[in-house]
Structure 1
Amino acid sequence: MTTTESRGQAELRSGDRIAIIAGSGRLPLDVAENLASRGYPPFVVMMQGEAEPGLAAFDHEELALENIAGLGALFKRRGITHAVMAGGIGRRPRLTALRPSLALLRFLPRVIAGLGKGDDGALRALAGGLESVGITLVGAHQIAPDLLASEGQLNGVAPQKADWRDIDAGAAAARAIGALDIGQAAVAVGGRAIALEGIEGTDLLLERVRDLRSHGRIAGKKRGVLVKCAKPGQELRIDLPTIGPATVTGAHAAGLAGIAVEAERSLVLDAAGVIAEADRLGLFVVGLPPEPVS
């Protein structure tokens, strides 16, 4: 496989077979539909308890997280050449539920070492495990580059001058926790970060900010911004920051004035829906210049 210089789009060849390792959310379905429209009907591995039921419309198998070591053999049986990891996983595998196998013995040391390095390390371990058995890993944005956020104002509402203080503060905080592999998002109000994303994810981060406002913990402070950035040094084929219409709704419920995401390193799901919802609620959505790669 080769990739174009323009936004890293994957150019697939005749005979390539692509699998989607599908977690939660809309992203796996967007990727599946994109592949099907290009004449590459995907094989979907629906992670048990995570993947959306709509993915069952494609050729698929359901897989428990504890059986992840069997992906290599499954892909070999199915003639898979490339894999895309898309969507969230809400939990880690229960080590006591792992099924003993030769594949697990080969895979487990890599996974345990990765888990010790945090979520990003665990994802890198899974990626390395797939590549070690001859699978080419590609990012969701390489399959559907139109999902990538572009730089600049994305909808009809512009940030106010004071909002840029919040954007700068939120971006600095998001990158700081990203460097520690904690999360990808921060909320800034009044020129300082007031809430950071942890393992709970962006939706619950916004709920926390909403509760802080309702309890008077952000008294006298209006507006504010949600900022999402890729982790410094992040493996960009895996787990890019993502927003969708529900993010806009959640940001509005939290009393925020807008959302800023790192351009070219963040995904916007249902961009038309994001723009329509942001315009309806009076929130801005902007793409920030991507951080230079060191």
Structure 2
Amino acid sequence: MMKTEVTGTDLELPPGAKVGIIAGGGSLPVEIARALARQGKSPFVVMAAGEVDRVSDFDSYEQTTLMLEDLGSLLPTLKNHHVTHLVTAGHITRRPRLSAMRLNLGLLAWVPTLLVGVSRGDDSVLKLFVRRIERGGIKVVGAHEIVPELVAAEGTLTKAAPRKSDWRDIEAAHAAAKAIGALDIGQAAVAVGGRTIALEGIEGTDGLLERTRQLRGHGRLAGRTRGVLVKCAKPGQELRADLPSIGPQTVEAAHAAGLAGIAVEAGRSLILEGPKVVARANALGLFIVGLPAAEPVHGS
């Protein structure tokens, strides 16, 4: 599949278009729903059962709740509600339990995706998911197309800026994040003292930062200060389904882990609740910087 380039431009929906949102946890699906409502395109929200933590924020929208194990009914449900475009947003913390799925014709169409999901990484699954949805006649769009104002800008976004030593950490963590991304493992890495000390795995960015916090008192990290979290897209990633993002909790966790700042790819990452993120980073003395997506990382 060709790599999707994020431009941060508004999505032009044709007359009569209806957008469905597959909503997981966090603020992103809420921000997308509100943006669509402001445009006069009230969405149809499919809440992933057990994953959504802001259920009441969807009260004013047409909605349903879907068990992950009922994946076979997803396309018929979208069709029954006249959905023409679909966006996925928010955290899904688990995959469907194959043993709990009800066998039907709808589910059989998803078997290749499910089998890949058992043995391969998230991006492989998301690419197949997008392909299956679009074969069903529904166009998949990215969150960045609906809420382009959330796309990270290039440069330093906070009062604090990276020091020369921080740029060494950024280079190390950026290279490591791209390496594990190429293996479809994760999107983030932490570097301290010019070397990578932790990589994102299945536990996500919050888990990565918690491990970093715990490592502070051990071994060669003891007594070291600063450090950087870098989060970026996987090479060739399906950006319409899983754009890297940071939010207020990322800032809090990075500070708790003793890091000096966060770097993300400009134009290919989202900053959720942006004003709150920047304000909190400023209050804690952390920097947030947007890196050029298609160029080598370098400092001044």
TM bracket, shorter-chain basis = over 0.9
Offset of residue 219 of structure 1: 1.4
Greater CA deviation, 229-238 or 104-113? 104-113
- Distance, in Å, in 2 between the alignment partners of 1:182 and 1:194 is 16
- Residue 60 of structure 1: CA displacement? 0.6
1:50 maps to what in 2? 51
Is contact 2:72-2:105 (8 Å) kept? no
Residue matched to 1:140:
143
One-letter amino acid of the structure 1 residue matched with residue 224 of structure 2: K
TM-score (ref. length: structure 2): 0.93
Identify the range of structure 1 (209-218 vs 195-204) with the bigger mean alpha-carbon deviation.
209-218
Cα distance in 1 between the residues matched to 2:32 and 2:105: 32
Aligned alpha-carbon RMSD (Å):
1.4
Q: Is the Cα contact below 8 Å between 2:30 and 2:58 reproduced in 1? A: no
Q: Does 1:244 align with 2:247?
A: yes
Q: How many residues align?
A: 288
Which position in structure 2 is the counterpart of 1:121?
A: 124
Give the alignment's TM-score, normalised by structure 1: 0.95
Deviations 1:60-79 (A, max 9, x none): 10000011121110011100
1:187–1:226 CA contact under 8 A, matched in 2: yes
How far, CA to CA, are the matches of 2:7 and 2:185 in structure 1?
30
Q: 2:231 aligns with which of 214, 228, 234?
A: 228
* Alignment map for 1:168-187 (pairs within 5 Å): 168-187=171-190
Tell me, in whole angstroms, the C-alpha distance in 1 between the residues paired with 2:7 and 2:220: 45
Which amino acid in the other structure matches residue 265 of structure 2?
E
Question: Amino acid of the residue matched to residue 98 of structure 2?
Answer: L
Q: Name whichever of 29-38 and 110-119 sits farther off.
A: 110-119
Residue by residue over 1:197-219, the C-alpha shift from the partner in whole angstroms, topping out at 9 and shown as x without a partner, is 00000011111100111345511
Counterparts of 1:176 and 1:87 in 2: how far apart (Å)? 24
Quick check: 1:111–1:126 contact (8 Å CA) kept in 2? no
Q: Equivalents in 2 of 1:162, 1:217: separation in Å?
A: 17
Do residues 256 (structure 1) and 256 (structure 2) align? no
CA deviations over 1:217-248 (Å, ceiling 9, x no partner): 51132100000010000011011111011101
Match of 2:103 in 1: 100
| Structure 2, unaligned runs of 5 or more | 1-5, 296-300
Matching residue's letter, 2:157? L
Pairwise CA distance, 1:107: 1.7
Q: Which amino acid aligns with 2:62?
A: D
Identical aligned pairs, as a percentage? 57
Displacement, 1:111?
2.7
| Residues 189-228 of structure 1: pairs in structure 2 closer than 5 A | 189-215=192-218, 218-228=221-231
Which has the higher mean CA deviation after the structures are superposed, 102-111 or 140-149? 102-111
CA distance in 2 between counterparts of 1:138 and 1:236 reads: 9
Deviation at 1:114, TM superposition (A): 4.7
Gaps of 5+ in 1: none
- Larger RCO (CA within 8 A; separation ≥ 6): 2
Q: Distance in 2 between matches of 1:68 and 1:106?
A: 10
